[in-house]
Structure 1
Amino acid sequence: MANLTTRGIKAACAGKHDDGSGLRLVKASPTSGKWVFRYSHLGKRREMGLGSWPEVGLATARKERDRWAAELRSGKDPIDLRDALRRAEREARDKHDPTFAELAQMVFEAKKAELRGDGDRGRWFSPLRVHVIPKIGRICISQLTAQDIRDAMSSIWQTKPPTAEKAWQRTRLVLREGKLMGFECDPFTADAAQRLLGTVSHTTQHIHATPWQDMPALYARLDSGSPAHECLRFMMLTLVRYMGCAGARANEVDGDVWTVPAERVKGQEGRAKDFRVPLPVTARKIVDDGKEVWGDLLFPGRSGAPITSRAIEKALDSIGEAGRPHGFRASFRTWVQDTDACDYDVAETILGHTVGNRVERTYARSDLLERRRPVMDSWERHVTGCADNVVKIKAG
């Protein structure tokens, strides 16, 4: 027999009030409470929430109790059954209307095959994970508006333009790919958000490059013989990016040619290729000395893994050098322009840049190795001041 009435509930004080057959109202205050269905399944006592009072009235709470009591009589656990039903509903919803976070993850997983290191190496997902998903990740993609995207990016739009641009581009890509997957979304939503955010006055800050005239002085100051200093010298001489140089191994060098494996060459996954580098005399000396002191890995860090980019930059900071490692490449390119050291194609190939359009590259397949040799030798003579300017590497 029922013990509760609508009027009696309103007048009841805070506490627990049973209605019978397992239904209980737990009043936290005179104006709020929650309904609970108390039952036992396989000898275990459980309590199942049926909603808040007064939003859920007495009659509705009784219907819900009777519904789940019937499931209990059939041998099912009401809580486990309800959880399973909710999971099925979410899965059905996600097939047709995922949240932005879910769609972003789907797009990322689909793109991993073309990203270096599954996207982790270039931190492709980072702008979304840090700046977008915390704000709009839970919004279903069909409900996402330009105002939502604007609000998510407004805090960085003017203060961190490069980061905001990446976040916006990734967001637009997620919406574009989502539309192609058949979901109810449109990349125009991101375009509209960009208009709402307004224009940004931003001057691109290039990586600081040591003037080519100052490269010999810098080379001479890198005289500690440590892995960091030797790696920096190697980068100056070969003009290969940090990723290629930091992981350099002696077994990649054959005579005076160093072959940088495709996995350490910049480019899209599956498109990057091994890159041959003609090594001038001083660079070969660095390889030989590194192999003698440290073994196959030429520039090890403290943990025995390849030296980190931070360790490289700290080495420059310690000698008061403002130029950055990637700037060595700009130093070389400016040297070529100022001295007319070589043709455009040769200079760009030395830097590992793609030259010509797709059709031209189909027929012009040479990596210009022989034409690059004299240029690299000339650059070495400039950087070192003389061919014998090599400091013996020190162990430890």
Structure 2
Amino acid sequence: MPKKVSNRLKAIEVKSKPSGRHADGGGLYLLVKDTGARSWVFRFMLKGKARDIGLSNCPEAAEIMAKENSRELTLAQARVVAEVYRSKVRQGIDPLAERTERAAHALATAQAGKIAKITFREVAEAHIAANSDSWRNPKHRQQWANTLSTYVYPAIGDLPVAEIGTAHVLQILEPIWGTKPETASRVRGRIETVLDAAKAREYRTGENPARWRGHIDQILPPRIRLSRGHFTAMPYDTLPEFMQGLRSRQATAALALEFAILTAGRTGEVLGATWAEIDLEKAEWTIPAIRMKAGVEHRVPLSKRAIEILQSIKALQGPSHRGLNSGSRVETSEKPVFPSDRGGKLSGMAMTMLLRRMKADVTVHGFRSSFRDWAAERTSYAHEVCEMALAHTIGNKAEAAYRRGSLFEKRRRLMDDWADFCNGEGVYDASVTPIRGAVA
């Protein structure tokens, strides 16, 4: 049996050995590369397999070098480390597998430490940045930022998102739950969304402490929801008289409100209208998909009175838009149809304040309900015609397929009848079916 080699190398030889593998004994080798770089390797046998493990950067070597204040692993130090590994092998421990496991644990610990420092504010801002492009309404991003900055960040913005619990959520919601129910509900929903995003990114675990159903609803009373009165509607029978008073007012807000009523349009759709969307010759208003709630382009037939309103607005603005006086559609004009005195489009508050001055306890959006009630109770137009006039989202596939047909002319007749009704004409008795409605 060959004699085992032990401590063959001498310290003075370590710096002068040529490239190759030089045995010191007991599995310890000096590895010299062609570049002259030197390192220590320990070779061991475990379960019939030979394996190599580097010593120069191992934790045991680092500990010894730190104690002895040395910059490189010396021969003597390498022998000490090799003996540590020999002892492990004798115990059946794989030093290489152990090192891999240690490294994985250290990495996991470091990552956990980093994750533990991620704050609610960081997750919220990342969520807003990632999703804002998909929010059609530019105000939505601002509302998110404002509500979080006002109500959430002062309380939990700088807290680790992994540590936020029910007590933190209640700290934010309880002061405003009774006084600002709508705002409080939105704040709760946004906190819930941010915490869901944090969980999806594995920044936190467990249930969402801002969840309403089965959690917060067991602590806070139900929010007092505004019923249909939130969009308080004017009884349609009183509308002709209201329209007479509205037409007596000389203001852009009055014209915009009347146009909104006649077209059954939403406030944002009307105030965001530009001359490029209007075709006076065809009596049509085409609202692009990007401005529609359902994200689908909507064509609105314009009644005779609606056209008169546009022409009066055009006259007020003067002949500054080439082609407007000819009655043709002006594709190049992106100026608002209903401008404010300070430039830009008219504010939605202008119509709301007008209603207050007229002592009308209704909302602009409520006139859409007035239109729908009138259409259902005083005409025989088909349900899908009335719903399409309101640009409502289609829920039934069969109905959606039907609506793709030729309903535009039927909607034109509907809107003409609505304009006549608003003007005090054709005020049908509930028991009488209008001739035009009968064929719709």
Fold shared by both chains (TM-score > 0.5) = yes
- 1:253 aligned onto 2:285: no
Q: Do residues 297 (structure 1) and 319 (structure 2) align?
A: no
Match among 251, 271, 294 for residue 226 of structure 1 = 251
Q: Alignment partner for residue 383 of structure 1, among 395, 400, 422?
A: 422
Contact 2:116–2:162 (Cα < 8 Å) also in 1: no
Counterpart-to-counterpart distance in 2, 1:260 and 1:371:
19
Q: Report % sequence identity.
A: 29
Alignment-derived partner of residue 85 in structure 1: none
Whole-angstrom distance in 2 between the partners of 1:362 and 1:97:
52
Question: Which whole-Å deviations, capped at 9, do the CAs of 1:147-180 have from their partners, x for residues lacking one?
Answer: 1111111112233322222111111111112211
Q: In angstroms, what is the RMSD of aligned CA positions?
A: 2.7
Mapping of 1:1-396 within 5 angstroms?
A: 97-120=117-140, 123-191=143-211, 194-195=216-217, 197-200=219-222, 202-205=224-227, 206-222=230-246, 223-254=248-279, 255-267=282-294, 272-294=295-317, 297-357=336-396, 361=400, 365-366=404-405, 368-386=407-425
TM-score, scaled to structure 1:
0.68
Q: What does the per-residue CA deviation read over 1:284-303, in whole Å, with 9 as the maximum and x for residues that have no partner?
A: 11112211221553211111
Does the 8 Å contact 2:116/2:160 carry over to 1? Answer: no
Distance 2:207 2:193 in 1: 7
C-alpha spacing 1:264/1:224, structure 2 compared with 1 (3 Å): same
- Residue by residue, what CA displacement relative to the aligned partner does 1:58-101 show, whole Å, maximum 9, x if unpaired? xxxxxxxxxxxxxxxxxxxxxxxxxxxxxxxxx99665642111
For 1:360 and 1:299, the matched residues in 2 are separated by 35
Q: Return the letter of the residue paired with 1:275.
A: H
Local SS of the residue matching 1:189: coil
Question: How far apart, CA to CA, are the structure 2 residues paired with 1:201 and 1:359?
Answer: 36
Q: In structure 1, the residue corresponding to 2:143 is in which secondary structure?
A: coil
- Cα displacement (A) at 1:358: 5.8
* Number of residue pairs matched by the alignment: 294
Counterpart code for 2:216:
Q
Distance 1:183 1:139 in 2: 13
**Cα pair 1:349 1:367 within 8 Å, conserved:** no
Per-residue deviation, 1:262: 2.6
The two structures have a TM-score, normalised by structure 2, of 0.61
Instruction: Tell me whether 312-321 or 199-208 shows the greater mean CA deviation.
Output: 199-208
* Pair 201,243 (structure 1): closer, same or farther in 2 beyond 3 Å: closer
SS at match of 1:190: coil
2:120 touches 2:159 (CA, 8 Å); kept in 1? yes
For 2:115 and 2:177, the matched residues in 1 are separated by 32
- 2: CA distance between counterparts of 1:93 and 1:326? 51
CA contact (8 A) 1:227 1:299 kept: yes
Q: Distance in 1 between matches of 2:114 and 2:259?
A: 52
Tell me if structure 2 keeps the 8 A contact 1:238–1:277.
Answer: yes
Instruction: List runs of 5+ in structure 1 lacking aligned partners.
Output: 1-90, 388-396
Q: Deviations over 1:155-212 (max 9, x none)?
A: 1223332222211111111111221122114452223761463332624242221111
Contact kept in structure 2, 1:171 and 1:190, CA below 8 Å = yes
Distance 2:364 2:269 in 1: 12
In structure 1, the residue matched to 2:8 is none
- Quick one: distance in 2 between partners of 1:160 and 1:353? 29
Point out the more displaced range, 194-203 or 172-181.
194-203
Letter in structure 2 aligned against 1:104:
A
Change (3 A) 1:184 1:363: farther
Q: Cα distance 1:257–1:139, how it changes in 2: closer, same or farther (>3 A)?
A: same
The answer to whether the 8 A contact 2:264-2:389 is kept is yes
Give the letter aligned to residue 265 of structure 1: M
Name stretches of at least 5 consecutive residues in structure 2 with no aligned partner: 1-110, 319-334, 427-440
Q: 1:121 to 1:195 in 2, by over 3 A?
A: closer
